[in-house]
Structure 1
Amino acid sequence: MQETTYEEHQSNKPLRLRLTQSERLRRHPAPIRKRRDRRRPPNMLRAALSRSASGLRRSPAMAAAAPLSTAAAASWLSNGPASSPPRVRLLIGGEFVESRADEHVDVTNPATQEVVSRIPLTTADEFRAAVDAARTAFPGWRGTPVTTRQRVMFKFQELIRANMDKLAENITTEQGKTLKDAWGDVFRGLEVVEHACGMGTLQMGEYVSNVSNGIDTFSIREPLGVCAGICPFNFPAMIPLWMFPVAVTCGNTFVLKPSEKDPGAAMMLAELAMEAGLPKGVLNIVHGTHDVVNNICDDEDIKAVSFVGSNTAGMHIYSRASASGKRVQCNMGAKNHAIILPDADKDATLNALIAAGFGAAGQRCMALSTAVFVGGSESWEEELVKRASGLVVNSGMVNDADLGPVISREV
């Protein structure tokens, strides 16, 4: 039986035929939920809501997007005596906890030399607790459907967008780059979060039938377990976002070590990730220098390590971590050259050379250090020097600053 309905009665369009419910059931016998069930959220959301009563975050589909509040931003900082800067906490098992470390490192504003916070040198017991939290969370997170893990990333990127200005301000305060560069720092990391939103497709395996008589082959992509990331100071938002969003959306759990020079952006991002629905223990953060790096390299529960930074540190990490059987990737320093040919557009080329050489005060692995002028373009060198000399160096918070200070005297 078919049922006809009018649509746009006064037009000359033909009548549209619509199948009745009984006809649909005969053709596609899928069960229809009762009315009382239609008002209930799917199983995943019901589970997320019940977990929220025991302290976990709400599901990303149920949480509202809102900029990070002042109170929320303070949860990863603890206030000491009035005369002391705030202390950065650890993230272990979904909680921001005060470290019991006796040693701390000052986080300094490069433009003002003001100490804005202090980070602890994570103790061995605290590091062990972070790894244990990640290891404990792994079975449940691995068993979570990839579509559910993707939803966390969809919510995460929404929250990052809502807090771009706050993240950029923190980066400029701790790292020194201009607000424009800091905003780009966050945005480039955001692109990786958006990439992780498609993990269901990226994790698809392969199947080939009859590769030999009666033999089919297939591959399955599975998470490794606990992974770790060691970050440099020059991109305090982008590089953490290179690491943990893809790793956790694949089903791994993660221990992150931000740079001791500018940890604030990573802490803010971790807070947003938990607000987006990342369960307790999936992401953990420790602080420190050489000792905690060596602990990451040596720990048997950590299955893979990602590092971005200097050649010296990268060679040490690659050698030590791979010796303990880990998968290791190290993205280290570079030497970048530009060759300028005489048929290049002069104005566009000089602007590109200035941006490539002096962006972020030159503190990036892709910074241009050598320009080779050939075929008559040597005459452009004088103009290049003139433009470079005209760059305004100032606090990154100042609107007309072309570049801010380097992060420290050592750099």
Structure 2
Amino acid sequence: MDILKNYINGNWQDSLCKQTIDVVNPANQVVLAKVPFGADTKTDVEECVLYANKAYQEWSQVPVIKRVQVLYKLKTLLEENKDVLAEIITNESGKTKAESLGEIQRAIENVEVACGTPMLMTGDVIEDIATGIDEMMIRQPLGVTACITPFNFPSMIVFWFLPYAIATGNAFIVKPSEKVPLTMVKIFEFIDKLDLPKGLVSLVHGGKESVDAILEHPNIKAISFVGSTPVARYIYSKGTANGKRVQAQGGAKNPVVVLPDADIEMSTKIIADSVYGCAGQRCLAASTIITVGDSKKEIKDAIYEHVKTRTTGYGGNEDVSMGPVITPESKNRIEGLIQKGIDEGAEILLDGRNATIPGYENGNFIKPTILENVALDKELIRTEIFGPVMSLIAMSSIEEAVEFVNKGNYGNMACLFTSSGASARKFRSEANAGNIGINIGVAAPMAQFPFSGWKDSFFGDLHGQGKHAIEFFTQTKVIIERWPNIWSRKF
């Protein structure tokens, strides 16, 4: 069984940590590899930063128009190896092949946007800010930067950060989730083919020990994170306490409001895809479906009929629309939350617990589940389930629905289904969430726009992707210049 290596100073090398944990296929519990996981990974991080800092000194002096040339080659390598990467993603995270390919495409789009860094990181100049004095603002890199990524998107989330970091002149360290490290190992085989200084882009494995080493190291200047809200809060508080720039994306409890004038057929399919895509394990998965007025019975019946036909199984099979959740512990937690909802008074319309998939009896499978009339004053309505569970509740007006949305602790996404432009305008203006969808079930920003999040869904100021990423990975410097007028002198 392979023990995964770190990528440090342009070389694959064994971790100094001899402790490992298994990387497991969630569909059948087959062990795919072993990954370093223990206290000695802290030393791996220290070695990585040493080389990264040296590489940064060289790379920051390379003109930005030359820095982005490596991204064009990286884009080509990702495009040429989509199927290889998709198979790895499916096997280690449980996604369907289509979901894995979609994730890779999103990664590629961020590389494309980062190729525009020569324009995106331009500064400002005012000539004669005062008589004979010019003032300008320029952007310069930070130094060594790092990201800590989750299990649910093994390839995409790294690319919210990596291409922008190196295009703006920084060194970059990736600490992938120990649950799904194989995808990033493969991507680093492509990175190894790029014309980059040794040590500029690094890969280190591990768990909390390596994370804490990143948060505490004085030469790491900025940290990007995506994960649960408790961990995001920890990353942000500890990182900033150590003087670092931090962007930490947290959890969500995404509401979807369906008005009586919504297109039921279209809405049903889009909502189901949002709730059950990636087995509900994404920060933009719809969770709470709010029917307004007389839309309740019609949308409930339509959703039930559509959802019960969805096929759960191994994501590599073409006829499967939903794969397993990531671990047995996740399965037990989600099934426990379903029971908690029932204990709190919810009715179970569709029960996906105790699922058995022929040929994959050991997999972490939960079939699509629908809870109806979830209590608004209990715990489940506020808890991120992060699994294939839909909560159906009814309200009398859009005003009541918006008030409910705005009372939630999270603010990652909120969506509305309607045919009314006035209702859509009201919702997008008043709903307190960073990503708003109108007749869209997953309001995932394209790479040109920041992946916004509000309230407990985000800690920081600048988000991943687009112009926000350029701003996050650069610091501004203001120069004020006065030059004597030599032309007035007599020679």
Under a length normalisation based on structure 1, what TM-score does the superposition of the two structures give?
A: 0.78
CA contact 1:208–1:216 (8 Å) conserved in 2: yes
Which sits farther off after the overlay, 265-274 or 241-250?
265-274
Q: Give the one of 127, 132, 137 matched to 1:209.
A: 127
Q: Give the one of 8, 14, 19 matched to 1:92.
A: 8
What one-letter code is carried by the residue in structure 1 that aligns with 2:249?
Answer: N
CA contact 1:255–1:284 (8 Å) conserved in 2: yes
Match of 2:26 in 1: 110
Aligned mates of 1:144, 1:214 — CA distance in 2: 32
Identity percentage of aligned residues: 39
1:77-128 deviations in whole A, cap 9, x for unaligned? xxxxxxxx21111011010111231211110000110000010125332221
What one-letter code is carried by the residue in structure 2 that aligns with 1:296?
Answer: I
Match of 1:30 in 2: none
Root mean square deviation, CA, Å:
1.2
Match of 2:361 in 1: none
What one-letter code is carried by the residue in structure 2 that aligns with 1:123?
Answer: T
What one-letter code is carried by the residue in structure 1 that aligns with 2:140?
Answer: E
Match of 2:57 in 1: 139
Match of 2:218 in 1: 300
Match of 2:322 in 1: 403
CA contact 1:229–1:306 (8 Å) conserved in 2: yes
Q: Give the one of 256, 263, 272 matched to 2:190.
A: 272
Larger Rg: 1
Does residue 116 of structure 2 align to residue 198 of structure 1? Answer: yes
The number of residue pairs the alignment matches comes to 327
Aligned mates of 2:196, 2:189 — CA distance in 1: 10
RCO higher in 1 or 2 (8 Å CA, sep ≥ 6)?
2
Give 1:211 shift.
4.0
What one-letter code is carried by the residue in structure 1 that aligns with 2:194?
Answer: A
SS of residue matched to 2:140: coil
CA contact 1:236–1:258 (8 Å) conserved in 2: yes
Q: Which runs of 5+ in 1 are unaligned?
A: 1-84
Which sits farther off after the overlay, 216-225 or 121-130?
121-130
Q: Which runs of 5+ in 2 are unaligned?
A: 331-491
Aligned mates of 2:163, 2:187 — CA distance in 1: 10
Aligned mates of 2:32, 2:48 — CA distance in 1: 25
Match of 2:235 in 1: 317
Does residue 96 of structure 2 align to residue 178 of structure 1? Answer: yes
Give 1:249 shift.
1.0
Give 1:227 shift.
0.2
Q: Give the one of 138, 141, 161 matched to 2:79.
A: 161
Q: Give the one of 298, 305, 309 matched to 1:386.
A: 305
Aligned mates of 1:346, 1:217 — CA distance in 2: 57
Q: Give the one of 278, 286, 289 matched to 2:204.
A: 286
1:21-67 deviations in whole A, cap 9, x for unaligned? xxxxxxxxxxxxxxxxxxxxxxxxxxxxxxxxxxxxxxxxxxxxxxx
Give 1:383 shift.
1.9
Matches within 5 A, 1:235-384: 235-379=153-297, 380-384=299-303
Give 1:213 shift.
5.0
SS of residue matched to 1:305: strand
Aligned mates of 2:57, 2:194 — CA distance in 1: 20
Aligned mates of 1:143, 1:216 — CA distance in 2: 24
